[in-house]
Amino acid sequence: MKTSNSASTALRRRELLAGAAMLVFSATTVRAATITGQLPWTPNAGNPPPRIKLGPWEFFTGEEGRAMEALADRIIPVDPETPGGKESGCAIFVDRQLAGSYGRQEGLYLRPPFQTGTRNQGHQSEKGPAQEYREGLAALDRACKGAFGEPFADVPDNDKDLVLKGLESGEIKLEGVDGKSFLAKIVRDVQMGFFADPIYGGNRDMVAWKMIGYPGARYNYLDWVGRHNERFPLPPVSMTGSAQWTR
């Protein structure tokens, strides 16, 4: 009887496994399809971040926004082929980032002690980006009012450049703020806004991508893998799937 029961149990187990295998095979073969002349995905089926909303500043005050736009235009000046940082939306990018998770320091460890770290250790300050921008832009305007009688946004462009060079070299000091580190942060954030996907507010009309020939978030480039030193002929595409970016 033991042999008979064992054989029966083994048989039922084999039948169960075989039946499960057939079920999986049937399910996969039913879903399989031959892809001809089309992409194996549904357009706009992803989950990209929401587009930034046009409108007033969400973090900056009016004076801070003017200063930030002036800074963006000196970091990325206008030239005959490309608009400057202001028209490219870099200040809007920074504003929306400071009003969001970047400014709130989401996901970062925020408890003391706070110590000065090395360059490869990243941000170590007790102050987050939002507070650093608020204090830094105010200190910048105070310094310019003391030297030129006007806030940074109203100072002539040549003098703006002298101020930024002084901050970069450390010759110009800001009250209560490390001017050199603050300028470095602004430059990084403006650069990110200029080259980021337009969905975040900068790189308006994909001007930066067009300037460097970057094709954007296209599905694939299989036809171009082996074609070196050739300019990609199609316009760049945003994460929204559109080659035309309108606000």
Give the residue from 172, 174, 214 showing the smallest Cα distance to 194: 214
**Average confidence (pLDDT) over 29-53:** 62
Give the residue from 182, 188, 194, 183 showing the smallest Cα distance to 93: 194
> What SS3 state is found at 13?
helix
The Cα–Cα gap between 183 and 164 comes to: 8
**Average confidence (pLDDT) over 92-114:** 84
The Cα–Cα gap between 67 and 140 comes to: 9
Phi-psi domain of 14 (left: phi exceeds 0; alpha: psi -120 through 50; beta: other)? alpha
Is 50 exceeded by the pLDDT of residue 2? Answer: no
Q: Which amino acid is at 67?
A: A
The Cα–Cα gap between 81 and 40 comes to: 38
Burial status of residue 166 (CB atoms within 10 A of its CB: 0-12, 13-18, 19 or more): middle
User: Is the bond preceding 113 in cis, omega lying within 30 degrees of 0?
Assistant: yes
Burial status of residue 241 (CB atoms within 10 A of its CB: 0-12, 13-18, 19 or more): middle
Q: Which residues of 10-49 are buried (b: 16+ CB within 10 A; e: fewer)?
A: eeeeeeeeeeeeeeeeeeeeeeeeeeeeeeeeeeeeeeee
- Note the pLDDT tens digit of each residue in 207-240: 999 998 888 888 777 888 888 888 888 888 888 7
Q: Which of 1-10, 141-150, 175-184, 191-200 bottoms out in mean pLDDT, i.e. has the lowest? A: 1-10
The Cα–Cα gap between 147 and 171 comes to: 14
Q: DSSP string spanning 114-154?
A: -----GGG----SS-HHHHHHHHHHHHHHHHHHHHSS-GGG
Bridge partner list, 174: 177
Q: Which residues of 218-240 are buried (b: 16+ CB within 10 A; e: fewer)?
A: eeeeeeeeeeeeeeeeeebbbeb
Which pTM does this prediction carry?
A: 0.75
The structure tokens listed for 34 are 């031959």
CB count within 10 Å of CB 123 equals 12
Which residues touch 225 (CB under 8 Å, ≥6 apart)?
none
- Note the pLDDT tens digit of each residue in 44-100: 566 667 778 778 999 999 999 999 999 999 999 998 888 999 999 999 999 999 999
Is 50 exceeded by the pLDDT of residue 131? Answer: yes
